[in-house]
Amino acid sequence: MLRTLPFPCFRRLPLLVALAFGATAQAQSLLDLYSAARGYDAAYQSAKAQFDATLYKAEQARALLLPKVSLGANASRTNYESTSIPTAATDRMFNTQSATLSASQALYHPADDATYAQSLKGSEQAAAALKTAEQDLMVRLSQAYFDVLASSDSLTFVKAQKAAVQEQLAFAKRNFEVGTSTITDTREAQARFDLVIAQEIAAANDLRVKSLALTQLVGQQAAQPKPVVEPVALDAFAPKNLDQWVGQSQTENPNVQQLQAALEVAKLETRKARAGHLPTVDLVASYQASTNNGSATTSKDYGSNVTSVGVSLSVPLFLGYSVQNRVKETVSLESRTQSDLDNAQRQAAQNTRTAYYGVESGLGQVKAYEAAEISSQSALDANKLGYQVGVRINIDVLNAQSQLYDTKAKLAKARYDVLVGGLRLRQASGTLSEADLQAVNALLAK
């Protein structure tokens, strides 16, 4: 009698990965590897550094609006010779020391005000770019995580199929020896066994490659994902309303947010260009103290203290039409940025719809594969019984076995695709957060 291995045996994925690669490390959850990837992934670290640099740049722009204070000092030695009176030539040496403390405060600098406002919008752009990198890291990690699980599932199912085919081959050989079957059954089983060996080699290599990709992403050798616990509750990942998702993408998508901030920056650039015609007003003050031990006209020591406070006004009169042409340039750039924003919103809506229908389709496939798994198992059992009573041939059993294990692998892959697809849907709409990873992580083995 042929024995069918129970399906739960195929789900011991961590043990399989450990045996395949000799790994002894404990399996990690999705959140564990996400934490590791945040500290290792170069793309995310680059976005984080750019965000920090933009904040410092904003503080530089703020400095334009703050008071400026400077201190200057001067010391000199003068050798004075006079030959104006030949009979009474005068030679004199004297020293001069002075120090000046000056301060200024911008009272009306419209261009500087616009520059500071631009820096604040630039910080919003950097925050959106960091959000993009963070969401991208979540999706890339989740994809790599479940790619390893799917590849491990495939190897598990191939090994189980090999065991079943090997048993069928032995059964066919015994039947041929006792004269109850032909040599054809033995050769068909041998051919299928050789094919499964090739599939096992390919599946083992695919698992190795997918594991290396995950290792490269998180920076940990032999990163080992935890398997999903069955039955998998996918109802929580089912999208509810397409219009709601699309609506969120128009405001929450980080790419859209970046371009919204960029449009504000472009408008402020136009405002700054128009400020080229406007005057600037500054409050200025200075204090100077100087001492001298003589001069060209006297040998006596003397000193002075000078304090001044005033308002400085600068009015541009003619700048060679540079301001007018600069305004035309910035208006054109503003129009371009508006077009980029429109395109980003349309693309975000399209990506959201694609991800939405992908999740819907994935859920439908999962249900179909679940039904197909039950049907394939029944078909295999019927073919085994038919082979034993002589109404089925060996190839029928082998085909039924292949169909069953192929269905199991596709079912597992479809479940993983739904989980990752749910994250991609949230990424497209701009709402993906670590809480969504926690929801997926809750489905993993403890």
Single-letter residue type at 126? A
Contacts 24+ apart (CB under 8 A), 164-167: 164/2, 164/4, 164/5, 164/401, 164/405, 165/189, 165/192, 165/193, 165/196, 165/398, 165/401, 166/193, 167/2, 167/3
Q: Alpha-carbon distance 195 to 17, whole Å?
A: 22
Q: Is the pLDDT of residue 433 over 60?
A: yes
**85 — pLDDT class (breaks 50, 70, 90):** low
Give the pLDDT confidence of 220-233 residue by residue, as tens digits. Answer: 887 899 999 988 87
pTM: 0.82
Q: Which residues contact 242 (CB under 8 A, 6 or more apart)?
A: 353, 356
Q: Is the pLDDT of residue 13 over 70?
A: no
pLDDT at position 313: 94
pLDDT at position 34: 95
- Residue among 402, 223, 395, 260 nearest 337 (CA): 260
For the chain, helix, strand, coil in percent to 5 are 70, 15, 15
Q: What are phi and psi of 223, to 5 degrees?
A: -60, 130
Q: Is the pLDDT of residue 135 over 90?
A: yes
Residues 38-59 have a mean pLDDT of 93
Mean pLDDT of the chain, nearest integer = 87
pLDDT at position 149: 96
* Residue carrying structure tokens 């959106």: 128
Residues 204-212 have a mean pLDDT of 95
Percent of the chain with pLDDT over 90: 66
**376 — pLDDT class (breaks 50, 70, 90):** very high
C-alpha torsion 207→210→211→216, nearest 10 = 160
CA angle 25-28-32, nearest 5°? 130
Q: Alpha-carbon distance 308 to 254, whole Å?
A: 52
CATH class of the domain defined by 7-66+108-277+319-441: mainly alpha
pLDDT at position 373: 94
Residues β-bridged to residue 339: none
